Amino acid sequence: MTSVRDRARGCLLGLAAGDALGAPAENLAPEEIAARWGVLTEIERGGTDDTEYTIFAATVLLRHGHALTSEDVARAWREEIVARLDGPMRGAGFSELGTVEALRRGLRPPLTGRWHAHGWSDGLAMRAAPYGIFAAGDPDEAARLAETDGRVSHTGEGIFGGRAVAAAVAVAMTGASPAEVAAAALRAVPEDSWTARSLRAALDVAARTPRPLLGRTLHDAVVMAHYPWTDLAPEAVALAFAAYTAGGGEVEASVVIAANLGRDADTTAAVAGALAGAGRGEAAVPARWAERIGPVAGRCLPVVAGRDVRDVADEIVKGM
């Protein structure tokens, strides 16, 4: 039987592997990825802010547990992110940059997530997995904790994306099937939200489309044509869940499919990897990938430099 610790480690290793594999494909279309790599299957370099923000979120969560408040999260941002910036914030997404500026102006949540114009981004979805691990088997609590975090940096669809991922990870941690995991994500968001509509459309495409046609068919179904930015939460979450279900919940298949879909590929592959890793455990993460996942560099968040996702997963389990 796969232990909670194994699933927690699988979740965060899968996330880090997806982040690293998807990084060079970020902002590309499936056709561009195919022309450059054929199929992108090997990690070329380290991950991005997705892994670092996941570690940061886990660290703050473990200080407060189920009593976590949005003000706790905002305080951590002020003291451990904003106060340590001595130049540009490298590698951060629009929502994170906007939140830093909002905090510098003295705003408090939920205004910090509403003040900037990027509350719809996938920045919460990318860091929501620790809430699902911590509340394993309780998707409602996982979604609540993710939303508590998200009020600092997001609003509306951005929060819904985080809720969907956290709830899904909580169910995946029980060894549930990909269909059950996806159903938990849908239950965690309003039925008529953009996130829910995109999720349903993507899951339908994944269920009926042969893999060679999946990328373009998914783009036609959920990607906003001609929109210049790729970090839309409804889009990224939908692509990630489609990859996870199309991959049958297997870590390597789910992550490779997600990375080769392009768009915000580091985030979509990270989310797909977190879901699959939680469901299958640490041993299901390909050894050749796991060997390349070491302590993070702290390029975006110096406060987490030197932390390893394996250790973070163990800490979450101990704190449950």
CA distance to 43, 45, 116, 260, 293, per residue, from 162 (Å):
26, 26, 18, 22, 24
Block residue for tokens 């269920």: 207
User: Is 149 part of any known ligand binding site?
Assistant: no
Over the stretch 48-86, which tens digit does the pLDDT of each residue have?
889 999 999 999 999 999 999 999 999 999 999 998 887
Phi, psi of 151 (to 5 degrees): -65, -20
pTM here?
0.97
Average of pLDDT values for 6-17? 98
Q: Is 217 annotated as a binding residue?
A: no
Give the total number of structural domains in the chain. 1
Per-residue pLDDT of 181-232, as tens digits, reads: 999 999 999 999 999 999 999 999 999 998 888 889 998 999 987 777 888 9
CATH number assigned to the domain comprising residue 165 = 1.10.4080.10
Residue 242 lies in domain:
4-319
pLDDT of residue 2: 86
Find out whether 266 is annotated in a ligand binding site. yes
Other CB atoms closer than 10 Å to residue 105's CB: what's the count? 10
Quote the CA–CA distance of 283 and 7 in Å, as a whole number: 9
Q: For 294-311, how does the pLDDT look when each residue is reduced to its tens digit (9 = 90+)?
A: 999 998 899 999 999 999
What is the average pLDDT across 263-290? 97
For 271, residues 6+ apart whose C-beta sits below 8 A from its C-beta are: 15, 18, 125, 126, 129, 165, 236, 237, 240, 241, 244, 258
Left, alpha or beta for 226 (phi > 0: left; psi -120 to 50: alpha)?
left
Instruction: Please check if 49 is assigned to a binding site.
Output: yes
